[in-house]
C-alpha cells in the first residue's frame, strides 16, 4: 500500500464519520436535544475529510514498473511535457490526474491453438510463399513501452497500442517476409534468414510507434492439407530411393568382397608357384654344385680302381686270347673317352 492510498483511506473514514455525526445531529435536533458539541465535531470532521481527500488526490505513487502521463487543466496542450517516473509525486488536486502505463515486458501471441493467444480461436497468420504455397504461422512478440516516448504514445494511441500497433505490425511483417521465400526455403535452409527479416521489420514498426521490441518468436509453421500430403509422399519416395541405394551399395560391397577373395586366391597361387619354382631352381643349383665337386675329385688312379672293382664283382672266368698280355688294358681317362 502506498502513501496516496493511505491518505485516501483515512479520508474515506473521515467522510463516513462526518456523515454519521451529521445524521446524529439532525436526529438530536429533531428531538429538541442539544447539538452544540456535535455541530462543532461535525465541522471538524468535514474539514478533515476535505483536507485528506485533497491530499489523497494530489499525491500519486507509481510502482517500479510504472510511468505516468499527467493530464493537466493548466497546460496549454492538456498534459505535462514530462512523464512521471516511478515513485511519489504531487499534482494539483482536482485539476490534474495521472494516466499510468506499465513498462514491464508484455507478450502478444497469435496462434492456431485455442487459448494460447490474445484472440480466441485460430489466430495464426495466414501467408503465401513466393511459389504460391499457403502457410499458417504461429508467432509471439515480446515488447515494452519506451519510457522516453510515453507522451507520444499516449497522444497517438493511449491504451489502443496493442490492437492498433503491435498486432497489425507483426502480421504485416510476417506476410511480407514469407512472400519473399519459397516454401522449401522456409522449412529448411532459410528459416533463420526469414526470422531475422521479420524481426527487423517488426523492430522498426514498433520503434516508429514508441514501443521497443525485445524478441520475436516464430513458434510454428503449418501448411495446407494438400501440401502436407505432397510432402509426406515426397518423404516416402525419398526413403524408398534411399533404401534402393542402400541395396545397390550392399551388392557393390558383396561384389567387391568376392573380387578381393578371388584376387587373394590368385595371389596365393602365384606365390605358391613362385615358391615351387624357386625350390626347383635351388635343387638344380645344388645338384650342379654336387656334380662339380664330384667331377673335380675323380683321378686316373681312382678311375682304374673303380673300373677293376666294377668288373671284379661279377667276373668268375676270364678268357684271354693267345698271344695277349695277362693284364687287360685299362681305359684311357686322359683324353675324355
CATH number at residue 200: 3.30.479.30
Predicted local distance difference test score (pLDDT) of residue 104: 95
Sign of the CA dihedral running 235, 240, 243, 245: negative
Does residue 273 sit within a domain?
no
The answer to whether residues 45 and 82 belong to one domain is yes
Using the 3D structure, point to which of 71, 101, 131 is the last residue of a domain: 101
**Of 247, 263, 279, the domain-final residue:** 263
Q: How far apart are CA 70 and CA 73, in angstroms?
A: 10
**Residue 137 and residue 67 in one domain:** no
pLDDT in tens, the chain (337 residues): 567 777 778 878 888 887 887 887 787 777 776 666 677 777 888 888 888 888 778 888 999 999 999 999 988 888 899 999 999 898 888 899 999 999 999 999 999 888 888 888 888 999 999 988 889 999 999 999 999 999 999 999 999 999 999 999 999 999 999 999 988 888 778 889 999 999 999 999 999 999 999 999 999 988 877 666 665 566 656 666 777 687 788 888 887 888 888 888 877 777 877 877 777 888 878 777 777 776 777 676 666 666 666 665 566 555 555 555 545 555 555 554 4
* 150 and 212 belong to one structural domain: yes
In a domain, 270, yes or no: no
- Domain assignment of residue 290, yes or no: no
pTM flag (> 0.85): no
Considering the domain architecture, whether residues 254 and 180 belong to the same structural domain is answered as no
Residues 85 and 117 in one domain: no
Determine, yes or no, domain membership for 63: yes
**Total residue length of the chain:** 337
Q: What pLDDT was estimated at residue 21?
A: 77
pLDDT at 126: 92
Q: Check: CB of residue 29 under 8 Å from CB of residue 35.
A: yes
12 and 64 in a common domain: yes
Cell of residue 159, nine digits = 491504451
Is residue 137 one of the residues assigned to a domain? yes
Among 47, 67, 101, identify where a domain stops: 101
Q: Are residues 119 and 160 in the same domain?
A: yes
Phi-psi region of 243 (alpha: psi -120 to 50; beta: other; left: phi over 0): alpha
| Number of domains within the chain | 3
For the four alpha carbons of 171, 173, 178 and 179, in that order, the dihedral sign comes to positive
Comparing CA positions, the residue from 204, 67, 212, 63 lying closest to residue 146 is: 212
Asked if 158 and 211 sit in the same domain, the reply is yes
Q: Do 94 and 110 belong together in one domain?
A: no
Asked whether residue 30 is domain-assigned, the answer is yes
| pLDDT value of position 326 | 47
What pLDDT is recorded for position 193?
Answer: 92
- Torsion, Cα 85 89 90 96, to 10 degrees, reads 40
Distance of CA 114 to CAs 123, 177, 272, Å?
A: 8, 25, 82
Residues 57 and 140 in one domain: no
- Which domain covers residue 16, as residue numbers? 3-101
Confidence (pLDDT) at 185: 87
Whether 137 and 218 have beta carbons less than 8 Å apart is answered as yes
* Contact (CB, 8 A) for 106 and 147: no
In a domain, 19, yes or no: yes
Q: Is 314 among the domain residues?
A: no
The span from the CA of 107 to the CA of 142, in Å, is: 4
Clarify whether residues 115 and 96 are in a common domain. Answer: no
For residues 191 and 139, give the distance between their C-alpha atoms in angstroms, rounded to a whole number.
Answer: 14
Specify the pLDDT at position 307: 65
The answer for 22, left when phi > 0, alpha when psi is -120 to 50, beta otherwise, is alpha
| Whether residue 151 sits in one domain with residue 65 | no
Report residue 302 as a C-alpha cell.
Answer: 681312382
Question: In this structure, are residues 224 and 183 in contact, taking their beta carbons and an 8 Å threshold?
Answer: no
HEC profile of the chain: CCHHHHHHHHHHHHHHHHHHHHHHHHHHHHCCCCCHHHHHHHHHHHHHHHHHHHHHHHEEEECCCEEEEEEECCCCCCECCCCECCEEEECCCCCEEEEEEECCCEEEEECCCCCCCCCCCCCCEEEECCCCCEEEEEEEEEEEECHHHHHHHHHHCHHHHHHHHHHHHHHHHHHHHHCCCCHHHHHCCCHHHHHHHHHHHHHHHHHCCCEEEEEEEEEEEEECHHHHHHHHHHHHHHHHHHHHHHHHHHHHHHHHHHHHHHHHHHHHHHHHHHHHHHHHHHHHHHHHHHHHHHHHHCCHHHHHHHHHHHHHCCCCCCCCCCCCCCCCCCCCCCCCC
pLDDT at residue 337 in the model: 45
> What is the predicted pLDDT for the residue at 209?
96
Whose cell is 500500500? That residue is 1
Q: Is the Cβ–Cβ distance between 88 and 2 less than 8 Å?
A: yes
Amino acid at each position: 500500500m502506498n502513501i496516496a492510498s493511505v491518505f485516501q483511506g483515512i479520508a474515506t473514514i473521515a467522510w463516513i464519520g462526518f456523515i454519521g455525526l451529521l445524521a446524529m445531529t439532525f436526529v438530536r435536533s429533531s428531538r429538541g436535544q442539544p447539538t452544540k458539541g456535535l455541530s462543532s465535531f461535525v465541522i471538524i470532521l468535514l474539514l478533515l475529510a476535505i483536507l485528506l481527500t485533497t491530499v489523497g488526490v494530489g499525491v500519486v505513487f507509481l510502482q517500479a514498473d510504472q510511468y505516468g502521463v499527467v493530464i493537466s487543466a493548466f497546460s496549454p496542450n492538456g498534459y505535462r511535457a514530462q512523464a512521471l517516473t516511478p515513485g511519489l509525486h504531487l499534482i494539483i488536486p482536482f485539476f490534474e490526474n495521472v494516466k499510468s502505463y506499465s513498462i514491464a515486458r508484455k507478450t502478444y501471441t497469435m496462434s492456431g491453438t485455442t487459448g494460447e493467444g490474445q484472440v480466441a480461436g485460430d489466430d495464426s497468420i495466414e501467408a503465401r510463399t513466393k511459389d504460391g504455397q499457403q502457410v499458417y504461422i504461429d508467432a509471439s512478440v515480446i515488447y515494452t513501452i519506451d519510457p522516453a516516448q510515453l507522451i507520444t504514445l499516449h497522444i497517438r494511441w493511449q491504451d489502443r497500442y496493442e490492437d492498433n500497433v503491435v498486432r497489425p505490425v507483426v502480421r504485416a511483417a510476417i506476410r511480407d517476409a514469407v512472400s519473399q521465400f519459397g516454401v522449401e526455403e522456409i522449412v529448411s535452409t532459410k528459416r533463420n534468414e526469414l526470422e531475422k527479416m521479420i524481426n527487423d521489420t517488426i523492430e522498426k514498426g514498433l520503434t516508429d510507434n514508441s514501443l521497443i521490441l525485445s524478441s520475436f518468436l516464430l513458434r510454428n509453421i503449418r501448411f495446407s492439407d494438400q501440401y502436407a500430403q505432397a510432402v509426406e509422399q515426397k518423404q516416402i519416395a525419398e526413403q524408398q530411393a534411399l533404401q534402393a541405394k542402400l541395396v545397390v551399395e550392399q551388392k557393390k560391397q558383396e561384389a567387391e568382397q568376392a573380387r578381393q577373395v578371388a584376387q587373394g586366391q590368385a595371389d596365393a597361387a602365384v606365390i605358391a608357384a613362385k615358391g615351387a619354382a624357386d625350390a626347383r631352381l635351388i635343387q638344380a643349383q645344388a645338384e650342379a654344385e654336387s656334380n662339380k665337386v664330384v667331377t673335380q675329385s675323380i683321378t686316373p688312379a681312382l678311375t682304374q680302381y673303380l673300373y677293376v672293382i666294377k668288373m671284379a664283382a661279377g667276373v668268375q672266368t676270364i678268357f684271354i686270347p693267345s698271344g695277349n698280355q695277362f693284364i687287360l688294358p685299362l681305359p684311357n681317362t686322359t683324353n675324355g673317352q
